[in-house]
Amino acid sequence: DAGITQSPRHKVTETGTPVTLRCHQTENHRYMYWYRQDPGHGLRLIHYSYGVKDTDKGEVSDGYSVSRSKTEDFLLTLESATSSQTSVYFCAISESRGTSGSNEQFFGPGTRLTVL
């Protein structure tokens, strides 16, 4: 998985609790992304980062926050988890974006989150 790890790989939590998912890369890629994947919706972008401390919202950012204090780590936080946030979460990295590069993205193995 191209030097990308996600932790935890599985998590079960209760509604209202905070949850933090971690993505760690060893590729030194500039861009990092968090997606969620749900049946019938495909992959949807939650937040992305284009550098240390530089982040922006994606398509489905409500209820999520992110932080990137180091190039290699991108954290996704659910401040107060809800059942609608039960999903599989994927982190991805890319070296370039659409301007000059191909924005080929490399994905981590995913985190399966269940909110009861």
User: Binding segment for another protein among 11-19, 45-53, 64-72, 79-87 (CB under 8 A)?
Assistant: 45-53
Shortest distance, CB of residue 40 to another protein, whole angstroms? 6
Residue window 60-89: x/- pattern of binding to another protein, with contact defined by CB under 8 A: ------------------------------
Using CB under 8 A as the binding rule, whether residue 99 contacts another protein is answered as: yes
- Please give the sequence-ordered ranges of beta strands (E in DSSP) within the chain, or none if there are none: 4-7, 10-13, 19-25, 31-38, 42-51, 54-57, 64-70, 73-78, 87-94, 106-107, 111-115
* Residue whose CB is less far from another protein, 77 or 106: 106
- What residues form DSSP beta bridges with 113? 11, 87
Tell me whether the omega of the peptide bond preceding residue 8 falls within 30 degrees of 0, making it cis. Answer: yes
Q: Which residues bind another protein (CB under 8 A)?
A: 1, 4, 31, 33, 35, 40-45, 48, 50, 56, 58-59, 90, 92, 97-99, 102-110
